[in-house]
Structure 1
Amino acid sequence: MLSLKIKNWLNQFKKYYFTYKKGFYHLPYNGCSPQSLIESFDSFPFVQHSKEKHCISSNNPLCEGGFYYQQIEDGCWIVYAKMRYKANVAYDLIFKGKEEDKEITDEDYYMLSLNNINNSVNLSKDICEKAVVFPNYSWTFFKPKVRNCDLNFKGASNKYITIYFNETWLQKNLMPNKIFTESGLTSFIKNQDTKYIIWSLQGNETIINNFDTFDKAMNIGGDAREIDILNLKYCTIHLIFDFLRSCKEQNIIGQYNALEYNDRFSINRVENYLKNHLFDKFPGIDILAKKFAISETKLKVEFKQVYGKPIYQYFRDAKMELAKELITENQLIIKEISFKLGYENASKFSIAFKKHHGILPSELRKS
């Protein structure tokens, strides 16, 4: 009832701020530069902007949280966003100007982001007392003037560390560096047909410690005037080189596939659907492709690109992560858990569980 009231209320402002499509509130913003990003979000309703703390925050019917920003030096900014979502929200990145204008100036910015997406699955209280969270980590690297849609599902708590830098800063600080050339990014930037990179992380890399690092470096929740800019500059450069090393060691440029705007939207919705149907059997590639209006080939290839695993393996591994939560919660016996997750008997479930986690369900429960 409440969600219906919110939807009706927001529809009053639809032509000014929002659209509602495919189950998401779409919020357009101009994010081609950190300055335009700040101006765009500052114009939204329910937003507070503390210029002294370099922070934009909000608590509204759609989401709660905000982002901190700092200019590291001329042509380079850092933006750290933390948001909890009360509804499905899609941020649509737009840019002012003509689509056919390909020339990149210092008014346009590249965006390198380390992302932590924490989607949750709410189960009935008799199965699990708490929401089960499935974290996903990834890199994204966008060229200037590239359209992007960032999907955020209801119940998610997401974090993004984004570095903005313009063409002059790129040419002066990164292009001359040997590891930049070895990473393959020189050819990526020069290729006009390539627009952005999405690269999934496993979640056990030391790179993800950067979230704790930037919490401290940007004094999140504190006073931005007390930030050690030199230390923040060091952390920012270190994060860039983490990405460059990943590109070199994993041949990211040689392996990634660019996704079309609508395809990425569909892929994210497929992943969320699977997470919310872990007690069901795997529906099949053909059924998922039809349900979310994407070809079977694209679904298989692009799902692996975004989430780092073939779609069935991802579904199977998510079942095992859910099983671990249920065992730890200690509300159901192991036989019940195996039955709910679709296993013929507890023995087959235990074998699959140990293969994934390296420990038997019974051993985990005892510990």
Structure 2
Amino acid sequence: MIFSFNATPEFDFITYFARHIGATVNNDLLVIPDHVGNGFIRKLAFGPEFKVTMHHYVLKDDLIIKRSTSGLGNELITIFFYSNEQMLGIAFDNNPNIQFSERDDSAIQVTSNNLSSTIRFPAGHTIRYVVIAIMPSYLKTILALNKLNSTLETITNPGNTFLYFENMTAEAKLLLKNLSAVDMSDGLSQFYMQIKVQELLYLLFQKLSKRESLPHQNINSADAARLLHIRNEIINDLSTPPVLPEMAQIAAMSETKLKQLFKQAFGDTIYNYFQRARMEEAAFLLKQGKRSVAEVGYELGFTNLSHFSRLFKKHYGFTPKRYSSQA
């Protein structure tokens, strides 16, 4: 199933998606009909500048959501919180083969609405995500900071084109899960939900506020697609460190541009991102308990297990052996 729309501030996802699947919306709630799957989509409007759409369902067919740029510039910020056990396919510029989440079950994407994107959800699996649409000026008001770092300045000032990714904390994952279970028949539920959604925003912007302040480089959908392709190249082979000239050639960018845009989008250098993903993969393999520390180290390209142990301890605070015994 493919659902396409233009990302304008006036667009109401739940209304048009209901028409697309032959369903109705009652009190801002769309119950997924049996012929499509089961679950719900709920809309929360806290005013014209701050809206939320909550998705929690299992579908019988794959769902592909295609968002086309409004063509009007950045007058809306879209924040996408995804938490699930399945990999989420996020693509830009019509490239369908990018997976954002490899072992981790979550993703946070912050974009201006003048980027086109495609998101794929697999059939037969529980889909749980929240989309927050908020005006830049309103976000700046509720953040109420006297001084913003370059990332927050970019996001809250209209006219910028941006794409940022963040990992989701365990606290944010739990909050997302609890949001979908709130009893909306309670008279104060709308008030409660607004508080909790702002808490979700706090957890995100607390992390973004700690990013290094760098001059912002505007990004287009083609650049976004290339960045995700590079990220995919990195995590597809965690046994071999990325080589910048090769990555730049794959991305069809200069080395300088690739370094700048990658760090801007993902909050870290290509090499540091690789090392973090490498350690996360090591932790995942050790938790499974099917491989020894040595086997995990060698599988991830370490010829010196002492070096592997030092890096792992730096990342997690435990040696791989101790981590494995506690998993």
Give the TM-score taking structure 2 as reference length.
0.71
State the one-letter code of the partner of 2:12. S
Paired positions, count: 308
Structure 2 Cα separation of the partners of residues 295 and 157 of structure 1: 40
- Cα deviation, residue 355, structure 1: 2.8
Correspondence for 1:330 among 282, 285, 289: 289
Correspondence for 1:219 among 181, 193, 202: 181
When Rg is computed on C-alpha atoms for both structures, the one with the higher figure is 1
Correspondence for 1:146 among 89, 114, 117: 114
Correspondence for 1:71 among 16, 41, 45: 45
Is 1:285 aligned to residue 244 of structure 2?
yes
SS at match of 2:76: strand
State the one-letter code of the partner of 2:174. D
State the one-letter code of the partner of 1:260. N
Structure 2 Cα separation of the partners of residues 294 and 307 of structure 1: 17
* Aligned CA distance change for structure 1 residues 157 and 283 (closer, same or farther; 3 Å): farther
* Aligned CA distance change for structure 1 residues 33 and 134 (closer, same or farther; 3 Å): same
Note the alpha carbon deviations across 1:256-297, whole angstroms, 9 max, x for none. Answer: 43321111112112222322322x413422223333434433
8 A Cα contact 1:115 1:161, kept in partner: yes
SS at match of 1:134: coil
Structure 2 Cα separation of the partners of residues 349 and 251 of structure 1: 27
Which aligned pairs between 1:172-251 and structure 2 lie closer than 5 A?
Answer: 179=144, 182-183=147-148, 192=159, 194-196=160-162, 198-201=163-166, 203-204=168-169, 209-217=171-179, 219=181, 224-226=184-186, 228-239=189-200, 249-250=209-210
Which aligned pairs between 1:66-105 and structure 2 lie closer than 5 A?
Answer: 67-81=41-55, 89=64, 91-95=66-70, 99=71
**1:20 — aligned with what?**
none
SS at match of 2:296: helix
8 A Cα contact 1:183 1:245, kept in partner: no
Structure 1 Cα separation of the partners of residues 5 and 271 of structure 2: 35
* Aligned CA distance change for structure 1 residues 333 and 60 (closer, same or farther; 3 Å): farther
Structure 1 Cα separation of the partners of residues 121 and 104 of structure 2: 12
Q: Structure 1, unaligned stretches of length 5 or more?
A: 1-9, 11-16, 18-26, 122-130
Is 1:110 aligned to residue 70 of structure 2?
no
Structure 1 Cα separation of the partners of residues 272 and 33 of structure 2: 38
8 A Cα contact 1:199 1:305, kept in partner: yes
Note the alpha carbon deviations across 1:67-86, whole angstroms, 9 max, x for none. Answer: 42122235532222457898
- Cα deviation, residue 314, structure 1: 1.3
State the one-letter code of the partner of 1:31. A
- Cα deviation, residue 191, structure 1: 5.8
- Cα deviation, residue 330, structure 1: 1.5
Q: Structure 2, unaligned stretches of length 5 or more?
A: 89-100
State the one-letter code of the partner of 2:52. I
8 A Cα contact 2:164 2:265, kept in partner: yes
* Aligned CA distance change for structure 1 residues 132 and 250 (closer, same or farther; 3 Å): closer
State the one-letter code of the partner of 2:181. N
8 A Cα contact 2:31 2:38, kept in partner: no
**1:162 — aligned with what?**
131
SS at match of 2:51: strand
* Aligned CA distance change for structure 1 residues 330 and 270 (closer, same or farther; 3 Å): same
8 A Cα contact 2:29 2:40, kept in partner: no
- Cα deviation, residue 254, structure 1: 5.7
- Percent identity, aligned pairs only? 17
State the one-letter code of the partner of 1:68. R
- Cα deviation, residue 174, structure 1: 6.3
State the one-letter code of the partner of 1:264. A
Correspondence for 1:362 among 298, 308, 321: 321
**1:321 — aligned with what?**
280
SS at match of 2:46: strand
* Aligned CA distance change for structure 1 residues 256 and 160 (closer, same or farther; 3 Å): farther
**2:311 — aligned with what?**
352
8 A Cα contact 2:83 2:173, kept in partner: no
8 A Cα contact 1:66 1:81, kept in partner: yes
* Aligned CA distance change for structure 1 residues 90 and 339 (closer, same or farther; 3 Å): farther
Structure 2 Cα separation of the partners of residues 201 and 292 of structure 1: 21
8 A Cα contact 2:76 2:133, kept in partner: yes
Correspondence for 1:275 among 223, 235, 255: 235
- Cα deviation, residue 334, structure 1: 2.3
8 A Cα contact 1:113 1:160, kept in partner: no
Structure 1 Cα separation of the partners of residues 63 and 255 of structure 2: 25
- Cα deviation, residue 181, structure 1: 5.8
8 A Cα contact 1:68 1:80, kept in partner: yes
Q: How much is the aligned-residue C-alpha RMSD, in angstroms?
A: 4.4
- Cα deviation, residue 115, structure 1: 2.9
SS at match of 1:363: helix
Note the alpha carbon deviations across 1:108-139, whole angstroms, 9 max, x for none. Answer: x6235253466749xxxxxxxxx962256546
